[in-house]
Chains A and B, each alone.
Chain A
Amino acid sequence: MDPSAYIILSAILFTIGAIGVLLRRNAIVVFMSVEMMLNAANLAFVTFARMHGNLEGQVIAFFVMIVAAAEVVVGLAIIMTIFRTRRSVSIDDPSLMRN
């Protein structure tokens, strides 16, 4: 098994996530892209843990999952409130702010 393949995969996932955040206009999809970036980081952590032969990376992956879950809950709450008010989850719609 060549661990570097997993690192490349994780980099690809991270890039897809980042591009998704920048290009997509649906808040839920943007949010899913962020989660994908976190999971890409998790994959990198686990792979590096194997390459270095220590467990630290695997433990970190657990913590990241928890943090991601907390983030999902807070994020969904915020997106839901906006959706209830405007009945739309497009991140272009909210545009009350101006310079």
Chain B
Amino acid sequence: MNVYIPILTLAGLAALFACFSVTMATFTGPKRYNRAKYDAYECGIEPTPQPVGGGKFPVKYYLTAMMFIIFDIEIVFLYPWAVYFDSLGLFGFLAMLLFLVNLTIPYVYEWRRGGLDWD
């Protein structure tokens, strides 16, 4: 059980901090109305039904999401590699280097073709 105590402590601290900041913000923060504050947050699509045959479709969120999926998931190989880095030797290093070079290729493509431009 002892091994879980640090984790539980950390979780408790995090919960305390979250509650504390939210409560403090409600009491001390300034309250000015702004319509943007009440918009759907971060998903980019109005939750209400789309107008028939029209309405803009924010593609960029999907592009970003796809990029995130590619580059985030590939990192899965880096963790085991990092843990065993010492025993993998030169071969492990070169193999990972090659992997990262390969990963850079789609990144460069995306970048040059404007996939990273937000507007």
Contacts and interface: CB of A to CB of B under 8 A. Distances in A.
A and B in contact, CB less than 8 Å:
yes
B59 interface: yes
Contacts of A73: 66, 69-70
A62 B81 CA distance: 12
Given A62-B80, A87-B50, A69 B73 contact: yes
13 contacts: A62-B76, A62-B77, A62-B80, A65-B76, A66-B73, A66-B74, A66-B76, A66-B77, A70-B70, A72-B66, A73-B70, A80-B59, A84-B59
A76 B53 contact: no
A72 to B, nearest CB: 6
| B interface SS class | helix
A65 B69 CA distance: 11
Interface residues of A, number: 13
Contact of B66 (A65, A66, A77, A83): A77
B84 to A, nearest CB: 11
A83 B59 CA distance: 11
A87 B53 contact: yes
B62 interface: yes
Interface string A60-99: 0010011001101100110010011001000000000000
A77 B70 CA distance: 13
Contacts of A65: 73, 76
Nearest to B51: A87
Given A66-B74, A66-B77, 20 more contacts: A62-B77, A62-B80, A65-B73, A65-B76, A66-B73, A69-B70, A69-B73, A70-B70, A72-B66, A72-B69, A73-B70, A76-B62, A76-B65, A76-B66, A77-B66, A80-B59, A80-B62, A83-B57, A84-B57, A87-B53
